[in-house]
Amino acid sequence: MSIIRSKRALFVAAGAALALTTTAACSSTGSGGGASTAAGGPKKVTLITGVKSDPFYITMACAAQAEAKAKGLDFTADGSAQWDVSVQRPLIDSVAASRPDGLLVSPVDVSALTPSLKQIQSSGTKIGLVDTSVTDPSIGITRISSDNEEGGKVAAKALAKEMGEKGSAIVISVKPGISTTDARIKGFTEEMANHPAITLLPTLYDNDQPATAASQIQSTLAAHPDLGGVFAGNTNTGQGIAAGLQQAGKQGTVKVAAFDAEPDEIAALKAGTLQVLVAQDPASIGTQAIDQLAAAFDGKPVQKQIGTTMVAITKDNMDDPQVIKYAYKSDC
């Protein structure tokens, strides 16, 4: 997951916000497959993403929309305006009223939305969890996401190398209780224990607010002059950290490893504001999620758990077509 947009000049948001809004407003149908209702109409599938303006989720929605059209499904997408249970719950509850054949959802909390999802599932809607998940194993016929714990380890190894294996490092993330970012922190912390000359400071949480992350990194710099590295748990946090380091005159001196590969992050990588991007494959998540629902509609076997590829993008390898293909889109 990677979320709401910063208003700072380095991270322009308007195109991203418009893109998924457009996706959400449209419906994709097509011919093909046996994914039709008993009356002969196409099966209806709804996608609810974590934050609709986020390029990670835009990339996922675009791929899901294309695959749904190829499978002959009636597809709509929407998403939260911000990463918050109180914002996403009404969207999920609206699905209970519309009763689509399938629901793909990126829950913004591991437990708070479970009652609503159980209600929808009990009414006959097939649920697939994409990117994030819930702790209740009875929810969903399939769960598709990156191996976020491994991604945290990849980030730790790359950051330790960038830091020259010395100094202090810190993790700044969204909030506790999000399956993906919790796993990233776990993997990062475990791997950083293998680098004894680096002191890992207590994790900070910015509630997905770039301005908060910027303030936190500046306060950390004041308290720990030997700060050499930061791991940003998601896109917004990475944006805030980059802005805070620029303001403090520490851009490039303090190394930053961030999750995701949205357009602004790629630009920051080129500029040297960020040193490592751990890119996920949201397009594959969207495509495979539609495939699994289509299989379920047709009475075919469904994969309960699917892990998708991740790749570390650096300034040295970003011109490789096999690497840069993982960069996210801001529109379809």
Token pair in block for residue 239:
């944006």
Q: What are the two backbone dihedrals, phi and then psi, of residue 327, each rounded to the nearest 5 degrees?
A: -65, 140
Inter-residue contact 166 to 228 (CB < 8 Å): yes
Q: What is the mean pLDDT of residues 222-249?
A: 92
The CA-based diameter of the chain, rounded to the nearest angstrom, is 68
pLDDT of residue 41: 85
pTM of the model: 0.74
Q: What is the mean pLDDT of residues 243-270?
A: 91
For residue 14, name the pLDDT band (cuts at 50, 70, 90).
Answer: very low
pLDDT greater than 70 at residue 202: yes
Helix (H) or strand (E) holding 103: strand 102-105
Q: In the chain, what are the domain boundaries? A: 14-145+281-308, 148-279
Residue type for 21, please? Answer: T
**How far is Cα 95 from Cα 105, in angstroms, rounded to an integer?**
11
pLDDT greater than 50 at residue 27: no
**How far is Cα 100 from Cα 33, in angstroms, rounded to an integer?**
18
Equal CATH topology for 14-145+281-308 and 148-279:
yes
CATH, range 148-279: 3.40.50.2300
Q: What is the mean pLDDT of residues 27-38?
A: 47
pLDDT greater than 80 at residue 5: no
For residue 17, name the pLDDT band (cuts at 50, 70, 90).
Answer: very low
| Closest to 131 in 3D by CA, of 3, 237, 35, 4 | 3
pLDDT greater than 80 at residue 174: yes
pLDDT greater than 70 at residue 271: yes
pLDDT of residue 19: 40
State how far the alpha carbon of 39 is from the alpha carbons of 55, 68, 154, 164, 176, in Å.
Answer: 37, 19, 49, 64, 45
Q: What is the number of alpha carbons within 13 Å of residue 30 lying toward its C-beta?
A: 14
For residue 39, name the pLDDT band (cuts at 50, 70, 90).
Answer: low
CATH architecture assignment, domain 14-145+281-308: 3-Layer(aba) Sandwich (3.40)
Percent of the chain with pLDDT over 90: 70
**pLDDT tens digits, residue range 74-111?**
999 999 898 899 999 999 999 889 999 999 999 999 99
227: left (phi over 0), alpha (psi -120 to 50) or beta: beta
Inter-residue contact 275 to 314 (CB < 8 Å): yes
